[in-house]
Structure 1
Amino acid sequence: MFFAGPAVAAIALLAAAPAALAQPARPPVVFENVRIFDGQSDALSGPSNVLVRDGKIAGISTADISEDGATVIDGEGKVLMPGLIDAHWHTMLIGVTPDTGLADMGYTHLIAGVEATATLMRGFTTVRDLGGPSFGLKKIIDQGLIPGPRIYPSGAILTITSGHGDFRTFADLPRRIGELTPMEEAGMAMVTDSPDEVRMRTREQLMQGASQIKLTAGGGVASPFSPLDASTFTDAEIEAAVQAASNWGTYVGVHAYTPQAVQTAINSGVKVIEHAHLIDDETAQLMAEKDIWLSTQPFDEAMGAGLPPSSMEKFHEVLEGTSNIYEFARKYDLKTAWGTDILFSPILARGQNHMLLNLLKWYTPAEALQMATGTNGELLLLSGKRNPYPGRIGLIEEGAYADLLLVDGNPLEDLSLVADPENKFLIIMKDGVIYKDITGDQD
């Protein structure tokens, strides 16, 4: 059984008045005889029972749990764990390229809906979206009209002229003050070349519902005009974004690879560094001293598929730095979140789960799973009152959101189970609603 609950109710909801659009009723569920990975521990619990009510985990007990009207699921000793969280995802940029995406935004939004459903069915119940116009998609998922993960949106990527995220062409130059290019009108990225522009565009993203702000403080691999070693925003420009975000109770995360880009961002008040693959020891020490979050990705050769030849040299430089950043993370005990940063490729998106296995070069299976659940959930709390889902995510504890996976096997012993969501994730639940249940298909 797939897409129980919202997908069935969606037909009726689509015919309702807009004011009636809301999540359908969620009957209680009791998981019996499950062993729990709670998102924090190194070991599974003993046989336990878990009650889900109104989208939250309402009880955990080794004793029997009885609840009127509850659906009872016999876990048969299988593992119940939190839904996976991708801390660096691009909801709107998976199924399209920069050219095709801007050519037909209606197509782009529809493809994003298809990919959002696929993301949920891979067991990712939450994504932190680091750039793109995902506000509408988030709204329709939250209303229960299509299946998809919780989305923590950043809105448009803030970049500078020729910076990472600037996908304009020479035909768009020279820029005329006050005019927007198709890229900017679509909300993919905004070119901001002064503190005032940065401040304004930051506030525009917050106005639309951004839970955090994304800047590109250095060069990138995929962008055509940004050298990898370039440091882009000035101190004053980054400080303008940090101040505007802080005034709204949230934070700025920056794309940065090099020591200079990372240090400039930290000294300007940034709380989260995305990537950082090319930093040095001094910069890693600074991150530890300032209690800065590292949100990074265990890239491998597969991530280079589809990149233009002009990007391959930059890609391999970043790839060579992957071990570097994880060794620093372990050496200085940096607060480290896990994400994938997959762009412009639905084929690579299908390997989203597999990228978690890349962490085994530096971490145990338990540490990798903790990163993709409880640790990533802790990062989400940085959004403060801008948090669109105020509560605990990525944990199995009373009061946390009921975003749960029932796994056929023990992923703390065999992490490869998470790379086979079609067969090994028997149940996928988000917000107390079961979207997939193939327990009846098992021998």
Structure 2
Amino acid sequence: MQTRSRYVLALVALLLGLFGLMTQMSFAQSPSSDHKSQLTAVLFENVRVFDGVSANLTAPSNVLVVGNTIRAIGTRSLLVPVDIGVTRIGGEGRVLMPGLIDAHTHLFMETSTEDDLVAATAAPERLLQQAQENATAMLMRGFTSARDMAGPVFFLKQAIDRGAVVGPRIWPSGAMISQTSGHGDFRELSDLPRTPTSELSLAEQFGVGAIADGVDEVLRRVREQLMQGASQIKLAAGGGVASDFDPIDVAQYTEAELRAAVEAAEDWNTYVAVHAYTPRAIQKAIRAGVKSIEHGQLIDEETARMIAENDVWLSMQPFLDDEDRNPYPEGSANRANQLIVSEGTDNAYTLAKRYNIKTAWGTDNLYSPAGAARQGAKLAKLVRWYSPAEVLRMATSTNASLLALSGPRNPYPGKLGVVEEGALADLLLVNGNPLENIRLIENPETNFLVIMKDGVIYKNRLSDS
């Protein structure tokens, strides 16, 4: 396997060749591309509702969706509009719940492999097609929203929003901003030294990473992401598992640099999230005003207390040394770092619960189509630390609260992650009760009978009446 930097550079080189194509191509039209041109209604009848908050299901109820919002919920018959078409879905006592939310994704990189790079050399447009397919597959797994935490997804998001591609709502960060030798520096040693006249690296040109040293450069890079439509900003504040040139124990950026990013984001009424594992990196970021720690598996008690006292989010993934780990060669430094992180996961979740930290969930899948397909299984494994109701709450209303932290930069105004009147209609009808059997979400093809996003039905395995 190539080193991580060479792998990313090869991917970016191919993507750069497609940059013009991304702005010009006509994405394959989906059946729902004109769904907002006509007002429609959907009535779910005889369903038991998991509302995204309560640990209990409701009594058998009816839920009326009009347009893209939930109009009414009740145990008695609901008045349906007479002037628009109504689709009736008989739930027969099944569970209706909010669409799932993944708070840490990389839509453009999570399913690409070395074999894909070889194939893309002959047919580069395949990479764009693959990104679209990945987005569609994510929605069809029941994930109606995703916070993308580094990568060139702005065009993909726009295509989804206009109905040209089927996929989840996307909260994009744009490029991950990194110091020289940081987690987002994808260059090789042969690219050094960098001078004021050096060209931007390929990863920077395409928007995978953005290298910034010093307050002025950090401000520029943050503002560039915001200009392109970032809903939140992502910085690398510490070493990583996938990185080639920054050991996992290192802290990155000075407080002044981190604070500059925070101030620039706050001027746009949004926030900064940072990649960080270690106490030093996390504590420095919190002192600078960062609002979300991505990962954090190596926290200690002092750091957990600091996170809680400052009302900071811990956006964590259940990284374990199991079948869902990202692929790294045995004996490599990447693999050694991966083992260090997985050994800290139990302690991190224990501390998060002890200090009642606001904890979000995400997958952070990279370079693995098989790993992407196990999105629901990665969520279900949280029952190692939480009850099924707590797990589903985390992936719905709790993650939605993190998405809302973008304030006016939130690309989808409205309430998500809940089933309540006035909320946006992102809904799943489950063939069974996931509060009793969380493993139902591991097999969405069989167990998610209806998938709705923004009031539009993308999957319906039940007969309409």
- TM interval, short-chain normalised: over 0.9
- Distance in 2 between the 1:304 and 1:86 partners? 17
- Give deviations 1:325-369, integer Å, cap 9, x for gaps: 100111000011111111111111011110112111110000000
On the 8 A contact 1:250/1:386 being kept in 2, the answer is yes
State the Cα distance separating 1:105 from its structure 2 match.
Answer: 7.2
| C-alpha distance in structure 1 between counterparts of 2:125 and 2:151, whole Å | 14
- Kept in 2: contact 1:23–1:143 (CA 8 A): no
3-state DSSP of counterpart to 2:261: helix
2:56 pairs with 1:43:
yes
Query: Within 2, Cα distance between the matches of 1:167 and 1:302?
Result: 27
Aligned to 1:408: 431
**Is the CA contact (8 Å cut-off) linking 2:41 and 2:87 kept in structure 1?**
yes
Q: Does 1:108 align with 2:101?
A: no
> Matches of 2:395 and 2:333 in 1, distance apart?
32
Mapped partners of 2:289, 2:369: distance in 1: 35
Gapped regions of structure 2 (runs ≥ 5): 1-28
- Helix, strand or coil at the partner of 2:147: strand
Partner of 1:225: 245
CA distance, structure 2, for counterparts of residue 183 and residue 26 of structure 1? 43
Residue of structure 2 equivalent to 1:18: none
Give the superposition deviation at 1:236.
1.0
Mapped to 2, the partners of 1:109 and 1:386 lie a distance apart of: 26
Q: Paired residue for 1:304?
A: 325
Residues 1:55 and 1:184: Cα distance change in structure 2 (over 3 Å): same
Q: 1:295, 1:233 → 2: CA distance?
A: 20
Question: Which of 138, 144, 165 is matched with 1:146 structurally?
Answer: 165
Q: CA deviation at 1:23?
A: 4.0
1:53 aligns with 2:76: no
The answer to whether 1:120 aligns with 2:143 is no
Given that residues 324 and 378 in structure 2 are in contact (C-alpha distance below 8 angstroms), is that contact kept between their aligned partners in structure 1?
no
Contact (CA 8 Å) 2:49, 2:96: kept in 1 or not?
yes
Question: Distance between the aligned counterparts of 1:234 and 1:429, measured in 2?
Answer: 44
TM-aligned CA deviation for residue 168 of structure 1 = 1.4
Cα deviations by residue, 1:112-164 (Å, 9 ceiling, x for unpaired): 11100000000000001101111110010010111100000000001111111
Conserved? CA contact 1:29–1:51, under 8 Å: yes
> Within 5 Å, which residues of 2 pair with 1:87-236?
87-97=103-113, 100=117, 106-178=125-197, 179-236=199-256
Which of 276, 287, 291 is the matching residue for 1:256?
A: 276
Q: Is the 8 A contact 1:9 1:24 kept in 2?
A: no
2:324–2:371 Cα contact (<8 Å) kept:
yes
Distance 1:390 1:359 in 2: 29
SS across alignment from 1:439: coil
Whole-Å Cα distance in 2 between the matches of residues 201 and 326 of structure 1?
33
SS in 1 for 2:65: strand
Amino acid at match of 1:307: Y
Deviation at 1:219, TM superposition (A): 0.3
Other structure's SS at 2:112 match: coil
Residue range with higher mean Cα deviation, 62-71 or 131-140? 62-71
Greater Cα offset, 60-69 or 365-374: 60-69
Worse overlay, 99-108 or 116-125: 99-108
246-255 or 304-313, larger mean C-alpha shift: 304-313
| In structure 2, distance between residues paired with 1:404 and 1:258 | 37
Q: Structure 1 residue 226: deviation in Å?
A: 1.2
Corresponding residue number in structure 1 for 2:13: none
**What secondary structure sits across from 2:103 in the alignment?**
strand
Give yes or no for contact 1:259–1:279 (8 Å, CA) kept in 2. Answer: yes
Alpha-carbon RMSD across the aligned residues, in angstroms, is 1.8
Shift of the 276–105 alpha-carbon distance from structure 1 to 2, 3 Å rule, reads: farther
Deviation (angstroms), 1:193: 1.1
Structure 1: tracts of 5 or more residues without a match:
1-5, 14-21
Matched, 1:295 2:311: no
- Partner Cα distance (1:296, 1:418) in 2: 19
Match of 1:423 among 440, 446, 457: 446
Mapped partners of 2:176, 2:308: distance in 1: 26
Q: Secondary structure at the match of 1:254?
A: strand
Structure 1 position 44, deviation (Å): 0.2
1:396 and 1:264 mapped to 2: Cα distance?
Answer: 38
Query: Residue 242 of structure 1 aligns with which residue?
Result: 262
Structure 1 position 61, deviation (Å): 1.0
Counterparts in 2 of 1:81 and 1:377: CA distance versus 1, 3 Å: same
Does the CA-based 8 Å contact 1:255-1:274 persist in structure 2? Answer: yes
Instruction: Give the CA deviation at 1:302.
Output: 2.4
Structure 1 residue 217: Cα displacement: 0.2
Aligned to 2:455: 432
TM-score scaled by structure 2?
Answer: 0.89
Shift of 1:305: 4.5
Alignment partner, residue 78 of structure 2: 65
> Alpha-carbon deviations, 1:31-66, whole Å to 9, x = none?
010000000000000011111111011111111123
On the 8 A contact 2:326/2:365 being kept in 1, the answer is: no
Give deviations 1:254-279, integer Å, cap 9, x for gaps.
Answer: 01000000000000010111111101
Q: When the two structures are superposed, what TM-score results if normalisation uses the length of structure 1?
A: 0.93
CA shift in 2, pair 1:278/1:384, >3 Å: same
Aligned length: 426
Judged with a 3 Å threshold, the aligned counterparts in structure 2 of structure 1 residues 107 and 174 are, in CA distance, closer, same or farther, namely farther
Query: Does the residue aligned with 1:356 lie in a helix, a strand or coil?
Result: helix
CA shift at 1:174, angstroms?
2.0
Question: Kindly tell me: are residues 170 and 105 of structure 1, through their superposed partners in 2, closer, same or farther at Cα, counting changes over 3 Å?
Answer: farther
* Same amino acid, percent of matched pairs: 54
Aligned to 1:3: none
Deviates most, 66-75 or 402-411: 66-75
Shift of 1:27: 1.4
Q: CA deviation at 1:95?
A: 2.1
**Distance in 2, Cα, partners of 1:187 & 1:119:** 22
Question: How many angstroms apart in 2 are the aligned matches of 1:124 and 1:160?
Answer: 33
1:390 CA drift (Å):
0.9
